[in-house]
Every structure is written in C-alpha cells, then in structure tokens.
Amino acid sequence: MITRNKVNCHVSSVTLKGQTGAGICISINGTPVEEKFTPYGKTPTSHQVSFMGCTETCERLERYSGMGEISIFIYHKATLDSLDCEVIKHGMALTAVLQLDHLAESVPVCLTNGDKKDPLMVRALSLAKQGALTPFETDQRFPVSNDYYKREVAAEVRRRCTLRWQSRKDARQARELWPNVDEYRSSLLYKSKRSEIGVLLGMYTGHNHYNRHGFLLGETVSPTCRLCSLDEEMALHILGQCPALSGPCYKFLGSELLDEEQLQVETPRH
Ligand SMILES: [Zn+2]
C-alpha cells in the first residue's frame, strides 16, 4: 500500500539593504526536509526573485514527486497572481509556469498564497533574508529590471549634478547649506508658498535681510544678531546657532543647537 504524504514547499523572497534573496523550505508531513537560501544580488526585484524561487522549487520538488501530492506556498501574492494569470506578461513568470507544468505532469500540484504566520513560511522568509545578506558572487545572469535601470540612471544623474554643483566657485553659502543635489528637498521648496520660497531662498543663498548681508551692503550699522547680540546675524546663525531661537530650533529641527554639518543632512523622505 502506498503511503500518501503531504509534501509542502514554502517559497519566499525579500530585498534587504538593496540586495535580494530567495528562501525555500520543503517539508514532508510538516517536518522540514530541505532548506535553501539563494543570494541574487542587487539587480533583480523581489518579484523577479520570487519567480526564480518558484522555478528552483519546482526543480527540487521533482525528486519528491513519487511521495504524494505537492503544495507550493508562495509568500508574495503578486507572484501567485502573475502565475495564475491567463496571459503571462513576465519572462521570468513564464519560466516558472513551464517548470510548474513540467512538475504537474507527474504529480498533482497545488499552488497557493502562504499564510505569513505559518512557521514554515516564517522559516522560508528567514532563509530569504539570509540569502539577501549573503555576498553575491556567482555570475548567474537574469533579466535586469526596469526599476534597477531607473535607480542606476537616477543615481548617476544625481552624482554628476552634485559634482557640477560642488565644483562651482560661486554660491558659497548655498553650497554650504545644500551641499548635494537633493530632488526631494527641491520638490518641497518648489511646492512651498511663494512668500515662503522667497524667505527660504534668502536663507540658502545669503541674499536676505539679515544684518550680516545688510552690513556688507552698508544698509545696517552692525552685522550682529538683533536677537542675541552674540554673533553675526546670518542664515546659519538663525537656523541653528542663535540661543534666542533655541526653542523653535528644538521644536522644528529636533535640537537646540545645530552646526553646519547637522544642517546639511539630507531631508528624510516620508
Ligand atoms: Zn542670535
């Protein structure tokens, strides 16, 4: 009499610190019998890696095909949807589908979305994380995602613009307070009210109505801060170094005093 076992395989993929990895956990009647993590480097998306994990799962499951019905649990629902779709739009999904069909020729295969709290799925995810954190050294090739190209092109454009900005001889104060090209900060400035843009640009460029600039132009008798009388009244002083403004500075910038380096920190994305 043939004993019918439950052969399950949990598949997961993840992106950690810009690196991707896949994790596979094969179990028979609930007991893990085979585990594997694979690093895929920074080129593919987590979605692509998920397809690769499925393809590899099917290859590995061939040897279990005589043992009983096979169920494959996939962590990412989007991957499952792509595999279930009548029209395959993704090259890597096609590879996975062909491999699934091949496996299904010898054994019934059930493909489903895994429960993220299932300990075996948790294990597959942990393996995927291990894969993502493992240095990627093989020369395995796979299609490069559009997202990867976009990221690389944006990073190169940013690098070149920053180089051009930093090599300028003018705009000293603006370069001090805004040392790198920062699209997000620029977009916030662009979306500000017109009156605020005037004040902010004055702050960044030094072309403002503070006493230091006024003194240089002969418009004020002293460059000293009118609030604390301790230092020259200029953008850097007003933004992070005036004791009389330590309250608002703490409220809006998180610290009572900020030096130039702290004011240069890139604006966090929300
Ligand atoms: Zn002051």
- pLDDT for 69-116, tens place per residue? 899 999 999 888 888 877 777 778 888 888 888 888 888 889 999 899
Contact between 123 and 25 (Cβ < 8 Å): yes
Check residue 270 and give its pLDDT.
44
Residue 146 lies in a domain: no
Q: Are residues 55 and 114 in the same domain?
A: yes
Measure 221 CA to ligand 1 centroid, in angstroms: 16
Measure 242 CA to ligand 1 centroid, in angstroms: 4
For residue 178, the 8-state DSSP code is S
Query: Considering Cα of 254, then 259, then 263, then 264, what sign does the dihedral take?
Result: negative
Q: Are residues 17 and 130 in the same domain?
A: yes
Q: Are residues 112 and 174 in the same domain?
A: no
Residue at 236: amino acid letter:
L
- Of 110, 1, 112, which Cα lies nearest the Cα of 61? 110
Residue 221 phi/psi, 5-degree rounding, is -80, -20
Measure 230 CA to ligand 1 centroid, in angstroms: 6
Measure 167 CA to ligand 1 centroid, in angstroms: 31
Measure 210 CA to ligand 1 centroid, in angstroms: 11
pLDDT in tens, 186-196: 888 889 998 88
Distance of CA 27 to the CA centre of its chain: 32
Measure 267 CA to ligand 1 centroid, in angstroms: 24
What average pLDDT does range 147-171 have in this prediction? 84
Measure 238 CA to ligand 1 centroid, in angstroms: 6
Residue 200, pLDDT > 60, answer yes
CA atoms within 13 A on the CB side of 59: 10
Q: Are residues 257 and 182 in the same domain?
A: yes
CB-CB neighbours of 188 under 10 Å = 12
- Structural domain range at position 221: 169-263
Check residue 41 and give its pLDDT.
86
Check residue 91 and give its pLDDT.
76
Measure 269 CA to ligand 1 centroid, in angstroms: 30
Question: Which of 110, 134, 158 is a domain's end point?
Answer: 134
Residue 2 lies in a domain: no
Measure 245 CA to ligand 1 centroid, in angstroms: 7
Measure 224 CA to ligand 1 centroid, in angstroms: 8
Measure 235 CA to ligand 1 centroid, in angstroms: 10
Measure 202 CA to ligand 1 centroid, in angstroms: 17
Residue 142's pLDDT band (boundaries 50, 70, 90)? low
Distance CA 55, CA 77 (A): 16
- Of 116, 102, 108, 99, which Cα lies nearest the Cα of 52? 99
- Of 184, 262, 198, 199, which Cα lies nearest the Cα of 235? 199
Tell me what the pLDDT averaged over the chain comes to: 86
Measure 240 CA to ligand 1 centroid, in angstroms: 9
Number of independent structural domains in the chain: 2
Residue 234 lies in a domain: yes
Measure 264 CA to ligand 1 centroid, in angstroms: 20
Contact between 43 and 19 (Cβ < 8 Å): no
Q: Are residues 82 and 17 in the same domain?
A: yes
Measure 19 CA to ligand 1 centroid, in angstroms: 47
Q: Are residues 122 and 225 in the same domain?
A: no
Measure 246 CA to ligand 1 centroid, in angstroms: 9
In this prediction the pTM is: 0.55
Check residue 268 and give its pLDDT.
54
- Of 132, 137, 134, 154, which Cα lies nearest the Cα of 44? 132
Q: Are residues 124 and 224 in the same domain?
A: no
